[in-house]
Amino acid sequence: MMKKYLYACLLLFVSTMFFSSLSNAQVQWGVRAGMNMANSKFTQADGSVEETDPVVRMQIGLTLDVPVWNNIYLQPSLIYQGKGFKGMGIWPALAEEDSEFKVNLSYLVMPIHVVFKPKLGSSGHLLVGAGPYIGYGLGGKWESESDLLYDDIMLAQRQGDVNFTKDGSVGEMGAYNYGEPWDYGIGFLLGYEFMERYSVQVNGDFGMADLQYKYGDYDTGQELKNLTFGVSFGYKF
């Protein structure tokens, strides 16, 4: 199912670029950059949710606006997006449970939004869009206020790498296993475009994929999902 979803999104993205190059429609390439407020939702097997706080990360990437009909556009994008979380007691391997633990994640994300752009003002347009996204975890870093210990043996001094994995029983010394690498969900955007080139928007991504890994063949019954909200500025060529 996941591979079919990926192939469908990639096919749509490539097809959009190909047919836009053949058409006479006014297709616009653009760039977008801004900041994210990212968080992770950890749900335990008993239904309780771990308390975590968001982290501020960056986003930057390319966009493509393809006219579909009247004020409706198809907007596939390819975005580098920072995600992550911070909290207490999330990783039992840390020496002190009351020390803050922070994880910064890097993702390559491809959203495909259907955007409604009605005219608003003398030289601007309202932007309202929604659609699916798919993403892949590239890696990350963790940091903590306490050391990482195993039976009083120090494995790392308050920082290390983050791995994406399907099996939590496999890993490297001092590395934190976050979850499975493939992510997908639903995104939205709301903004304003002016002078036909510049735009400002707020965006959000609600992860639908359960990223929680297994330990070998053992399913923990836990659930892990990504949540992201951001503000970005865009420029069209």
CATH classification for the domain delimited by 2-236, as one of 1.10.12, 2.40.160, 1.10.1060, 2.60.120: 2.40.160
Tokens of 174: 């001092």
Name the pairing type of β-strands 159-164 and 176-179: parallel
As to burial, measured by CB atoms within 10 angstroms (0-12 exposed, 13-18 middle, 19+ buried), residue 69 is exposed
% residues pLDDT > 70 (the chain): 82
The values of phi and psi at residue 201, to 5°, are -155, 155
121 phi-psi bin (left φ>0, alpha ψ -120 to 50, beta other): left
- CA distance linking residue 185 with residue 224, whole number of Å: 13
pLDDT tens column, 4-27: 445 555 555 555 555 454 454 578
Q: Which pLDDT score is estimated for 22?
A: 44
- CA distance linking residue 96 with residue 47, whole number of Å: 25
Q: What is the pTM of this model?
A: 0.85
Tokens of 171: 């890993």
Q: Domain residue spans in the chain?
A: 2-236
Task: Please state the length of the chain.
Answer: 237
pLDDT tens column, 55-89: 999 999 999 999 998 899 999 999 999 999 998 87
Q: What is the mean pLDDT of the chain?
A: 86
Name the pairing type of β-strands 52-53 and 72-88: antiparallel
- CA distance linking residue 113 with residue 28, whole number of Å: 15
pLDDT tens column, 42-57: 999 999 998 899 999 9
